[in-house]
Amino acid sequence: MHEIEPHYNWRQLYVAEEDPLSPFYGREYSEFELSQVIYNHYIHPQWDGFGSNTLYMKILFVDYDKHFCIIELLGEWNDAIYNDVMYLYRNVIEDLIGNDIKYFILIGENILEYHSDTTDYYEEWFDNLDGDGWIIGLNFREHVIREFTDTNIDYYLAFGGSFDEMTWRSLMPDQLFELVEKTITKRLEA
């Protein structure tokens, strides 16, 4: 797992630790020292911890004028034991919403498992998105999507279908946002 790095092709456009509005402002990273683990597996030092024992993230891009952010996730999303969504919401998302972010793109190809609990924090997150905001999950694994659906997370987070087929790495952040926005608009109008 230590070889899985957060997407870095947009670093010339945005760096969370250099953004005074970011929850990760001022963080310093080692390029070589592995100190964070998911269970007994070390992870790449560029991932950001936010209070969870099993879920890590990287804010890849934020556009405060267009009100969107792109977040890449790594690990096991475990609400049942560790209440990961609470840590994600309280320690990261609330700050972003407080800075007028209302469109969230969550990249989940490195989420290995999902264990559900209640939907309270998902509901709170969704309710605080200013009416026309949304949360989109891109490229989550099939078994994770099944678990999301089985526990009604799909009421708050859109995923599956064309959201699982987006080759986002070849796009610039604005292009990805426009593609996702166009796709969710079509889905909502159908």
pLDDT range class, residue 1, cuts 50, 70, 90: low
Give the count of domains, the chain: 1
**What pLDDT is recorded for position 111?**
97
Q: How long a stretch of residues is the chain? A: 190
- Alpha carbon distance 150, 167 (integer Å): 26
How many CB atoms are located within 10 Å of the residue 190 CB? 5
**Block residue for tokens 């087929």:** 165
Per the structure, the complete domain to which residue 79 belongs is given by: 50-189
Domain holding 114: CATH number?
Answer: 3.30.750.24
% helix, strand, coil for the chain, step of 5: 35, 25, 40
Digit-coded pLDDT (tens) for 87-108: 999 999 999 999 999 999 999 9
Residue 89 domain-assigned (yes or no): yes
Digit-coded pLDDT (tens) for 118-131: 899 999 999 999 78
Task: Indicate the SS3 state at residue 147.
Answer: helix
- Alpha carbon distance 97, 89 (integer Å): 10
- Amino acid identity, residue 151? T
**What pLDDT is recorded for position 188?**
77
Residue 172 domain-assigned (yes or no): yes
